[in-house]
Amino acid sequence: MIERLSIIGVGLIGGSLARALRAVGQVGEVVGCGRSGPNLEKAVELGVIDRFTHDPGEAVVGADVVFLAVPLGAMRGALSAIKDRLDASAVITDGGSVKGSVVADAVAAFGKVPTRLVPGHPIAGTECSGVEASFAELYRNRRVILTPLSETEPDALSLVSRMWEACGAEVTTMSVGHHDEVLAATSHLPHMLAFGLVDALARMRENDEIFRYAAGGFRDFTRIASSSPVMWRDICIANREALSAMLARFGIEMTDLAESIRRADGDHLLEIFERAKAARDRYVDRVK
């Protein structure tokens, strides 16, 4: 049971954590912090948080758990702002989509790795932002990756694991570097393809006609291009090394595909599509 949870950034991810913990009675008071007055007032009205402040330092006073759920570019500022106001026993965790940058931000803010920091990432979300998009079931049957460091105190890791399990999530741990490489492939690359595809089509002169005839395939493939531009700018910059490597590998794949099409090499196309279909069918079966 968390007695006081402080959420810095009360949007989709922070708001959904508060709702989920409230739904199972695992949190006492929830204090929200953010920049937008109307968003925070809405969060109180929806019963997601009990009270709010715009000052991160004030928000963490007396909190046993602090959850950072701001865009990655705002993490360092938030960590610097809370550093001198935390209780000695407070556990800091976050939901940022890249872990290496959060650890670097924490070291920059604290001067060393904080021993009560448990970097985390719920592999769950939607293309919508803000507290009104949050919901209690977001994390149910979804994975949460925690990337503890050698300095992380075991009781802090255990508390954060239990917090996510209370939300219905399955907790996995891995190293920071491995997390950032895996997520570059499975989350960050697909978002680049969706943003890139929609932008390329939107800039074509005939775009009105193109979008008029776009149907299910386009809609399914491009849902995530409606995601927050600020959040994705920050993810790209924070994970630039791993994502650049993935984009380069993917470029080679696209060139191979384009060459096969130009050569009308049906056998090679069939080989690629059959391999891809088998891999996707296996993935869908596993997550059913």
**In the complex, which residues of this chain contact ligand PRE (CB under 6 A)?**
97, 123-127, 187, 224, 227
End-to-end CA distance of the chain: 31
Contacts 24+ apart (CB under 8 A), 43-51: 43/10, 43/15, 43/131, 46/15, 46/131, 46/132, 47/22, 48/10, 48/15, 48/18, 48/19, 48/22, 48/131, 48/134, 49/7, 49/10, 49/18
- In the complex, least distance from residue 8 CB atom to ligand NAD, rounded to whole angstroms: 6
Rounded Cα distance between 69 and 79, Å, is 11
- Per-residue x/- marks for ligand NAD, 208-247, CB under 6 A? --------------------x--x---x------------
Choose the stretch contacting ligand NAD; rule: CB under 6 A; options: 126-134, 175-183, 199-207, 256-264.
126-134
- List phi, psi (to 5°) of 46: -80, -5
- Residue 10 touches ligand NAD, criterion: CB under 6 A: yes
C-alpha span between 214 and 196 (Å, rounded): 16
What DSSP string runs through 132-150?
A: GG--TTTTTT-EEEE---T
Q: Is 69 in the site for ligand NAD (CB under 6 A)?
A: yes
The distance of closest approach from Cβ of residue 149 to ligand NAD in the complex, given in angstroms and rounded to an integer, is 19
* Distant-in-sequence, close-in-space partners of 86: CB < 8 Å, separation ≥ 6: 60, 63, 66, 92
State the minimum distance, in angstroms, from the CB of residue 88 to ligand NAD.
Answer: 24
Q: How far is the CB of 97 from ligand PRE (least distance, A)?
A: 3
Q: Which does 228 bind (CB under 5 to 8 A by kind): ligand PRE, ligand NAD, none?
A: ligand NAD
- Counting residues that bind ligand NAD (by CB under 6 A) gives 30
Q: Considering CB distances under 5 to 8 angstroms, the limit depending on partner class, which of ligand NAD, ligand PRE, none binds residue 72?
A: ligand NAD
Q: Does 117 bind ligand NAD (CB under 6 A)?
A: no
User: Quick check: 163 binds ligand NAD (CB under 6 A)?
Assistant: no
Pick from 1, 35, 175, 237 the residue near ligand NAD by CB under 6 A: 35
122 is an interface residue for ligand NAD by CB under 6 A: yes
Which residues contact residue 139 at a Cβ distance below 8 angstroms, ignoring those fewer than 6 apart? 16, 17, 20, 122, 124, 164, 167, 168, 169
Distance CA 275, CA 279 (A): 6
Q: How far apart are CA 39 and CA 187, in angstroms?
A: 27
Looking from the CA of 98 toward its CB, the CA atoms found within 13 Å total 27
Q: Provide the minimum distance between the beta carbon of 232 and ligand NAD in the complex, in angstroms, as a whole number.
A: 8
* Residue 227: CB minimum distance to ligand NAD, A: 6
Q: Which of ligand PRE, ligand NAD, none sits in contact with 136, Cβ below 5 to 8 A by type? A: none
| Under rule CB under 6 A, residue 96 binds ligand NAD | yes
Residue ranges binding ligand NAD (CB under 6 A): 8-14, 33-36, 39, 69-72, 74, 77-78, 95-97, 122, 125-126, 129-130, 228, 231, 235
